[in-house]
Chain A
Amino acid sequence: AQKVTQAQTEISVVEKEDVTLDCVYETRDTTYYLFWYKQPPSGELVFLIRRNSFDEQNEISGRYSWNFQKSTSSFNFTITASQVVDSAVYFCALSEAGGGGNKLTFGTGTQLKVEL
């Protein structure tokens, strides 16, 4: 069975600090997809990134960057120069490819608080 672990329940930083959110996953499949979602206080999940298991290149999008390492089954998310608007719950999720549909397994989320 697939599993996603986000060991950090809550992180507090001061604005402009860099912060890394950890995600460790377990799967028996060789083909799978990893996702990060942001959940602001309004409650709606916002898609941030998708990465497939064959693409280990790191990705940068503005202040956001993702580090995917198959050797350690990790898909970590870094926010550079954090801002108050980054305050939210962030979820890492895993989807296995195949005929079972696009079922996502979510981690328990990391609450990020960015303070002035």
Chain B
Amino acid sequence: DGGITQSPKYLFRKEGQNVTLSCEQNLNHDAMYWYRQDPGQGLRLIYYSQIVNDFQKGDIAEGYSVSREKKESFPLTVTSAQKNPTAFYLCASSSRDGSYEQYFGPGTRLTVT
């Protein structure tokens, strides 16, 4: 089955630790995205990548980093510099053409205490 996988579903970390969230897709999509969702709010774009070895900051990139070494994978690192890291993180992918919809993974709920 084609789709997007994110692991783990739930993640707990202590404040001050970096944590990496996994995102893998087998849809052969060129573009991948990371969003953050807070309670009662819409999704906000953190980073996106249109092609391997290239990525751009979204609206709330501070405190996050990404890499795109393979077409299928787009991991997100939440660094200790992110002031409010507790949130629901969603990964998505799409064809590069702007007309195509994004398909989302199941999300990772990160809790930092």
Contact surface of A with B, Cβ cutoff 8 Å: 4, 9, 33, 35, 37, 42-47, 50, 52, 91, 95-98, 100-104, 106-109
The stretch of B20-28, B40-48, B64-72, B74-82 that contacts the partner chain: B40-48
B58 within 8 A of A: yes
Nearest to B93 among chain A residues (CB) is A102
B42 touches A91 (CB 8 A): yes
Least CB distance, A84 to chain B, in whole angstroms: 22
- Considering the chains assembled together, what is the distance between the CA atoms of A33 and B99 in angstroms? 6
Q: How large is the interface on B (under 10, 10 to 19, 20 to 34, 35 or more residues)?
A: 20 to 34
Give 21 A-B contacts (CB < 8 Å), ordered by A residue.
A33-B98, A43-B88, A43-B90, A44-B90, A44-B105, A44-B107, A45-B43, A45-B104, A47-B103, A50-B100, A101-B48, A101-B50, A101-B96, A102-B99, A102-B102, A103-B48, A104-B45, A106-B44, A108-B40, A108-B41, A108-B42
B98 touches A44 (CB 8 A): no
Q: Most chain-A CB neighbours within 10 Å: which of B33, B43, B95, B99?
A: B43
